[in-house]
Amino acid sequence: MKHILIIGTGKSTSYLIDYLYREAGEGGIGITLGDRDKTQLELLKAQYPGIGTVRLDISRGDLLEKNIRPADLVISMLPAALHIEIAKTCLVLGKHLVTASYVSPAMQQLDREVRDKGLVFMNEIGLDPGIDHMSAMQVIDRIREQGGRMLLFESFCGGLVAPESDTNLWNYKFTWNPRNVVLAGQGGAAKFIQEGAYKYIPYHKLFRRTEFLDVEGYGKFEAYANRDSLKYREAYGLQDVLTLYRGTMRKVGFSRAWNIFVQLGMTDDSYVMEGSENMSFRDFINAFLPFSPTDSVELKLRYYLKIDQDDIMWAKLEELGLFDHRRKVGLKNASPARILQKILEESWSLEEHDRDMIVMYHKFGYELAGERYQTDASMVVTGQDRTYTAMAKTVGLPVGMAALYILRGKISAPGVRIPIDKEVYAPILAALEAQGIRFTETEHPYTGYNPNYVAG
């Protein structure tokens, strides 16, 4: 009997556990859930009779090895930085591994040993990264098989709130790790190619360099550039492409408002603010403004950022309670980013019956038989509630499907992998379509520039 160990049972695992409980159970594959949270494990045990549970702290290497040993495959749903210890243990014990996270340099260094042992370490098999890779490669491979040459590839994805649950001025609620949202775009300039020219956007300009997108039936969105679009040139075989851009989608107006936090320094995670535990929300925002014996916090902020009182940006700040002197931060030795996260979580957390929405949008420009064409592909998935979210569905289902295909030998090429090969994307995209996760394609006139244009 084959056995799967899932480590981590957080927000993104509702659909994963539900799917594997049905599909793996019918196929005679056992499942054990490992987590530090005893209460969470007890709730899952009651919800899924017959499933195994174990309290697991991965900092205890002996416990990690003890619980991985009986498994044939491990799914790590922990934060990305924690995957490597699990990966090393899987390598020693000869177990397959699946994660939804980007391949870290440390993970990539294991590739030769993983191949030598005939193991599959499948990474980047969630939503973004994951479904984005698979859906992109399906179309790119199809264009190449027809004899086409890729000219342009742009890809956008956003975890958003569904229209019926959109109840704040920011048109946004947290559907995944809030810390990642607050820190988005940091760690270096965004890099991409546009009409053959390399382009760079430093962090302090990132949220004012956006582009607009229209998704049929869902209206207009904006997108800001991801940190490094260039790293997928080789993986996708797009070394000669003229335009390569990956971005994050939000509703129009979000980025302009978020830029206020960036310009003030409130997204900085590199230092601790003294006295943060007793700081009020008003104290927090005032800490980034010049001293004045006469001017109020509100007046200083409007002057500093040149915001009028009737500007929607001002209403968005007020909605968060940033000027409230009664609401306390309550976090000791906290960075500005951690404090901002706390404030936003009070306003942007999903309510019990709120529904989230995932939007993914690709543009493919190509040349075929001397003519230029463009194909656009879009996917929209809406969640059920705060537990069964679209985010959990689009992250968890590909992870679960990959795990089963590996155990059943349908995905077999060994190594540290991402899902860009037909062996992986063809069956998983077909299985996702059966679960209601599908792309709609439309043809448009090519929006690139004249081939004789010299990029600026």
**CATH code of the domain covering residue 358:** 3.30.360.10
Tell me: pLDDT of 456 over 50: no
Rounded to an integer, the average pLDDT of 71-89 is: 93
453 is a domain residue: no
Whether residue 93 is found in the same domain as residue 197: no
- CATH code of the domain in which 284 resides: 1.10.1870
Tell me: pLDDT of 428 over 60: yes
191 is a domain residue: yes
Whether residue 237 is found in the same domain as residue 264: no
The end-to-end CA distance of the chain, in Å, is 60
Tell me: pLDDT of 119 over 50: yes
Rounded to an integer, the average pLDDT of 81-105 is: 95
| Residue where a domain stops, chosen among 73, 90, 123 | 123
454 is a domain residue: no
Q: What percent of the chain has pLDDT over 70?
A: 98
Q: Which amino acid is at 319?
A: E
Tell me: pLDDT of 55 over 70: yes
What pLDDT sits at residue 451? Answer: 45
What pLDDT sits at residue 72? Answer: 96
Whether residue 232 is found in the same domain as residue 378: yes
409 is a domain residue: no
Whether residue 109 is found in the same domain as residue 31: yes
Tell me: pLDDT of 455 over 60: no
What pLDDT sits at residue 449? Answer: 59
Question: What average pLDDT does the structure give for the chain?
Answer: 93
For residue 402, CA distances in Å to 74, 96, 223, 328, 398 come to 11, 11, 29, 45, 6
Residues 6+ apart with CB under 8 A from 121: 87, 90, 96, 97, 98, 107, 110, 111, 114, 415, 416, 417
Whether residue 186 is found in the same domain as residue 243: yes
- Tokens 């607050």 identify what position? 182
Q: What is the DSSP letter of 332?
A: T
Question: Comparing 244-253, 299-308, 349-358, which segment has the lowest mean pLDDT?
Answer: 299-308
- Phi-psi sector, 285: left (phi>0), alpha (psi -120 to 50), beta: alpha
**Residues 122-180: tens digit of each pLDDT:** 999 999 999 999 999 999 999 999 999 999 999 999 999 999 999 999 999 998 889 99
Residues 6+ apart with CB under 8 A from 20: 4, 6, 29, 31, 400, 403, 404
CB 395 within 8 A of CB 130: yes
- CATH code of the domain in which 102 resides: 3.40.50.720
426 is a domain residue: no
Whether residue 230 is found in the same domain as residue 379: yes
208 is a domain residue: yes
The pTM of the full predicted model, rounded to 2 decimals, is 0.91
| Residue where a domain stops, chosen among 123, 139, 165 | 123
Whether residue 233 is found in the same domain as residue 327: no
Whether residue 243 is found in the same domain as residue 143: yes
Q: In which band, very low, low, confident or very high, does the pLDDT at 56 lie, cut at 50, 70 and 90? A: confident
Best CA proximity match to 185, nearest among 237, 240, 259: 259
Residues 6+ apart with CB under 8 A from 323: 281, 282, 285, 297, 298, 317
Whether residue 118 is found in the same domain as residue 15: yes
Tell me: pLDDT of 436 over 90: yes
Q: Copy the structure tokens of residue 230.
A: 């260039």
Rounded to the nearest 10 degrees, how much is the dihedral formed by the CA atoms of 367, 370, 372, 377?
-50
- Phi-psi sector, 184: left (phi>0), alpha (psi -120 to 50), beta: beta
Q: What percent of the chain has pLDDT over 90?
A: 84
Whether residue 115 is found in the same domain as residue 82: yes
Tell me: pLDDT of 362 over 70: yes
Whether residue 276 is found in the same domain as residue 337: yes
What pLDDT sits at residue 450? Answer: 47
| Helix ranges restricted to H, 158-223 | 178-182
| Count: domains in the chain | 3
Whether residue 30 is found in the same domain as residue 92: yes
Q: State how far Cα 129 lies from the chain centre.
A: 7
Rounded to an integer, the average pLDDT of 205-228 is: 92
| Residue where a domain stops, chosen among 62, 96, 123 | 123
Residue span of the structural domain in which 365 resides: 131-254+353-390+438-444
Q: Identify the H or E element spanning 396.
A: helix 390-407
404 is a domain residue: no
Rounded to an integer, the average pLDDT of 417-441 is: 96
423 is a domain residue: no
Phi, psi of 306 (to 5 degrees): 55, 50
